[in-house]
Structure 1
Amino acid sequence: MKKKLVVLSGAGISAESGVKTFRDSDGLWENHRIEDVASPEGFARNPQMVLDFYNARRKQLNEVLPNDAHKILAELEKDFDVEIITQNVDDLHERAGSSKVVHLHGELKKARPVNSDSKVIPWEGDLNLGDLNFEGIQLRPHIVWFGEMVPEMNKAIAITEKADIFLVIGTSMQVYPAAGLIHYIPEDCEVFVIDPNLENSYTKDSHCFKMTASEGMKKLSEILQKERG
């Protein structure tokens, strides 16, 4: 029976592919204040600006490719039961070949009606005012904005509770409730951390790799394969 490897991934894994993140020193995301483009209030004030913002993110996503960290995680499915819980809204894990991915903060390539966090539909192109679902309801990006509930959180907790190995990669562990998953890791679970900037407080230092996502995944893959052998 394969060991269960549960991965909590964040912006750092996608940054290597060229996906822009908003956690820059100026607190802006592509020159926008976060509250203007990632909150229900921002959408209520200026919906077309918010739609345009995510249209640009979606377009950029189509111009980037999965990197080695994404690919190694997908390859590990041969030997481990890998489940990925990601804070990222891109589809790079899936495009690399990972088959079990939970998106805590939504997905850029999906849309949903403004009055529901379900009834989600695939969406590849631009999304504009006047784009309606089959019920005639305006569509919005399927993104969990600040102040909104995280619908997949309970599923993520249930996955975490079954982990034999838990990996934190490319996330500052500053965003809740995602960061709270650390409290649901089983006591006998091995925990690894990959992040060039993270101050490790989650596991023993030998399991903390202060390096890029791709470098860290190469090293971790070797360790896991040796443990298997």
Structure 2
Amino acid sequence: MIDKIAGYLSQSNKAVAFTGAGISTESGIPDFRSPGGVWSRYQPVLFQDFLTSGDARRQYWQMKKEAYRELKGAKPNSGHRALAALEAAGKLAAVITQNIDGLHQDAGSKRVLELHGTSRYCICLKCDARYDPDLVQERLESGVEVPLCDKCGGLLKSATISFGQQLPQDVLSEALDLCLQTDLILAIGSSLVVEPAASLPLQAKQNGGRLVIINKTETPLDDLADVIVREPIGETLTRVVHDLGLH
């Protein structure tokens, strides 16, 4: 399977990677859906509830406070580094990710489309002021339950996308264009069930691209895949990079 993926990449002019939480579990970040993950302890807070309910905001920030501890200090793993190496060698056009951890950028990837936003800053929903999440975390740790903007008193929120919140349309549009143009998409560490993001690999396949799935569990697109790999992501991608003669 490794040589087949490497062969596909050699033949491709505009390959795209689509990544989910599975690529970051090897960096010590739990998949939110896995046992012990944040969502096993809390119900996700809908965006509209965040806007209208004080209780929902308190639950949201309690969840974020715990998730921050899991994200803080995480480093890119060999899977992230392999994708950065593929991009640097001209074998990968972009990374489209459902992840919010910023590890692709830390690994050196240049063109990263973050469909679900980023945990790297917080934003005021009223005046758009940005805040360092470390400073917001300090407030939460000191006992503040719902942090507010220093400038206008508006609600602060992580720059991640909540359920019921619209995805950034410019990012989604760019991602769709990439998937419609690509001749090869690598779907990595994603269950391929969270829409609309999960439909992007399907769009690529239906438009004539090859589909490679690297994921430890089955996905709804397995029957359409040209190659399926169930082995660890970092090990698999590192072997692909080596097979291509890259370092």
Shorter-chain TM band: 0.7 to 0.9
Task: Report which of the two has the higher share of strand.
Answer: 1
Q: Does 1:217 align with 2:237?
A: yes
Q: Which residue among 225, 232, 238 is the counterpart of 1:203?
A: 225
Q: Does 1:3 align with 2:13?
A: yes
Give the deviation of 1:39 after TM superposition.
Answer: 4.3
* Dislocated runs of 4+, deviation >4 Å: 25-28, 133-136
Structure 1 equivalent of residue 8 of structure 2? none
User: Does structure 2 conserve the Cα–Cα contact (< 8 Å) formed by 1:13 and 1:69?
Assistant: yes
SS of the aligned residue for 2:106 comes to helix
Alignment length, in residue pairs?
Answer: 219
Structure 2 equivalent of residue 190 of structure 1? 210
User: Does structure 2 conserve the Cα–Cα contact (< 8 Å) formed by 1:113 and 1:133?
Assistant: no
Query: Which stretch has the larger CA shift, 151-160 or 41-50?
Result: 41-50
CA 1:133/1:166 → structure 2, altered by over 3 Å: closer, same or farther?
farther
User: Whole-Å Cα distance in 2 between the matches of residues 28 and 59 of structure 1?
Assistant: 11
User: Whole-Å Cα distance in 1 between the matches of residues 204 and 236 of structure 2?
Assistant: 21
Q: Does 1:72 align with 2:92?
A: no
Q: Which residue among 36, 42, 49 is the counterpart of 1:41?
A: 49
Normalization by structure 2: what TM-score? 0.77
Q: How does 1:54-133 map to 2 (within 5 A)?
A: 54-80=64-90, 81-115=92-126, 119=128, 121=130, 123-127=132-136, 129-132=146-149
User: Whole-Å Cα distance in 2 between the matches of residues 133 and 167 of structure 1?
Assistant: 43
Query: 1:180 is aligned with what amino acid?
Result: S
Structure 2 stretches of 5 or more lacking a match? 1-11, 140-145
C-alpha RMSD of the superposition: 2.7
Structure 1 stretches of 5 or more lacking a match? none
Give the deviation of 1:12 after TM superposition.
Answer: 0.5
Q: Does 1:139 align with 2:160?
A: no
CA 1:40/1:24 → structure 2, altered by over 3 Å: closer, same or farther?
farther
Query: Which stretch has the larger CA shift, 87-96 or 143-152?
Result: 143-152
Task: Report which of the two has the higher share of helix.
Answer: 2
Q: Does 1:158 align with 2:157?
A: no
User: Whole-Å Cα distance in 2 between the matches of residues 108 and 15 of structure 1?
Assistant: 16
